Structure 1
Amino acid sequence: MSETRAISTDHTPDWRARADCRRIAAPDWWFPKGTIGAKDRAQAADAKAICRECPVAMQCATWALDQRHTDGIFGGLDVGQRRSINRRASKEQYTDAQVADAIRATWATDTRDPLVDIYLNLTIQRDHGHVVWRGRKTSYTVAGRDFTPAQIAFEVGYGREPQGHVKAHCGEPYCVAVEHLTDGAMRWRRDHLAAAA
């Protein structure tokens, strides 16, 4: 008569089972498609904010650092932030406690861009890809700089200051959809390419 023995297994629950991301949003929410557009930047900021309220944020962040994940938001950190922490940790031979301190420091300094907040709070998505500004002011002061709504949208979408006047080329009144905006440098380049053709 053969006898089978029970195999002992670890009954410690996996930290991932307690992660908020498993209950709050679809998995692709944690993987914005880009880093330049207003929508992707806002998605990343929102994902990070959710992560940082999660009870296992530190475990998730350290796990992603150990695994050297090259995409997505893990533990409230994006790829660039994880890369920066890993670079410093390798160079300065961080202990586990120093890695945790670096994660906390990154969380403390990572705030959403105020231009992204203004853009998201004062725009409405319309049909045919148009985004309409619904704010009443024609100028907004952010960090000591004055912006028109089109300049805010341009800088949020392209990640750089516009050169010259920003205009919507779609013809829709008050449209600030990033893909419908050009600055003076873009129009100059377009006109010179057309003239050369």
Structure 2
Amino acid sequence: MKLYSYWRSTTSYRVRIALNLKGLSYETSPVNLVAGEQRAPDYAALNPGKGVPTLVLGDGTVLTQSLAIIEYLDATVPEPPLLPTDPLMRARVQAAVQTIAMDIHPVNNLKVMTYLKAHMGLTADGQLDWFRHWMTEGFAAYQAMLPKGTAFSFGETPDLADICLVAQLYNAHRWGVDMSPFPRLLEIEECALSVAAFNDARPQNQPDAA
């Protein structure tokens, strides 16, 4: 398999963690988002969304969108499971996942920030305020969803919620979000990063890390 990825992309980070947890080997093909390589015609033909990640399977099948890729991996390589089989627990985990992937991430990605800067006149300080506000809002909601007394978000083993959380926390630290209201999230992050599959997927451990 080949994973088209950018080292700082949180969505790429998610897929790297999932691949590692499943014990799947893959080749990384860097796509420099800052340099605009995602808009190159050859890559845009592969991923019409002009983003990362893109996973190309051994038979040449192309998958895009991180959650779709991860759910495919979970369906085809069931162990270890990344989503609960119990319908109620599955819904709770998915709600936490969507808080990160649908509430926080879409308004904090490079496309949005580039547009706000270029067309809405957002200053550098304004961009930071924007980042921090939406992450703080989302983290408060996420933390309130969690049960007590578990090592990870919903149990003793990591799942899709933890994958999304750890990737988003990378951005939170990068952009100086005040994490003092979220001790539970930092505990989960510490636990997750002690797992090789998470640690190996960290942005700074990627071949294209600057």
Bin the TM-score by the shorter chain: under 0.3
In our comparison, the structure showing a higher alpha carbon Rg is 1
Give the alignment's TM-score, normalised by structure 1. 0.26
